[in-house]
Amino acid sequence: MSLNTHPNIPDPDDFYAELLAAHHGLSEAESHALNARLVLILANHIGERDVLRDALALVREAG
């Protein structure tokens, strides 16, 4: 399976709000740490090396 870059989350605005809420009240360093944990947790959930490699390539391109 390749990386899905099409809309895939129902109610994306709700998710976005929850993402911001998770960072609420954190310092910049704490937010960075939270994001790092989130990346690790989601990467493990995806678990497919091809998909993860595609995602890493995409973030480098988009940056």
Partner 1 sequence: MPYDYTPFPYRRAPGLDGPEARHPVFIVGAGPIGLALALDLARHGTPSVLVDDNDVVSVGSRAICWSKRSLEILDRLGLGERAAEKGVGWKVGRTFHGEEEVFSFDLQPEPGHKFPAFVNLQQYYVEQFLAEAALDNPLIDLRFKNRVTALDPVAGRLEIETPDGAYTLEADHICACDGARSPIRQMMGLEFDGEVFEERFLIADIEMQADFPSERRFWFEPTFHAGQSALLHRQPDDIYRIDLQLGWDADPEHEKRHEVVRPRIEKVVGHADFRIDWVSVYTFQCRRLTSFLHDRVIFVGDSAHVVSPFGARGGNGGLQDVDALGWRLAAVAQGAEVAMLRGYDRERGFAADENIRNSARATRFMTPADGAERLFRDQVLKLAAQAPFARGMVNSGRLSVPCTYPLDGPDAPDLPMGARPGTVAPDAPLGNGWLSERTGHGWLLLAIGQDAPTVEGVKALTLGSDDVLRDRYLGDADCALYLLRPDGIVAARWRDAGAQEIEAAREAACL
- Contacts with partner 1 by CB under 8 A lie at 32-33, 36-37, 40-41, 44
Q: Minimal distance in Å, beta carbon 34 to partner 1?
A: 9
Q: Minimal distance in Å, beta carbon 63 to partner 1?
A: 13
Amino acid at 27: S
**Angle subtended at Cα 49 by Cα 44 and Cα 55, rounded to the nearest 5 degrees:** 85
Q: Minimal distance in Å, beta carbon 42 to partner 1?
A: 11
Phi, psi of 27 (to 5 degrees): -70, 170
Amino acid at 5: T
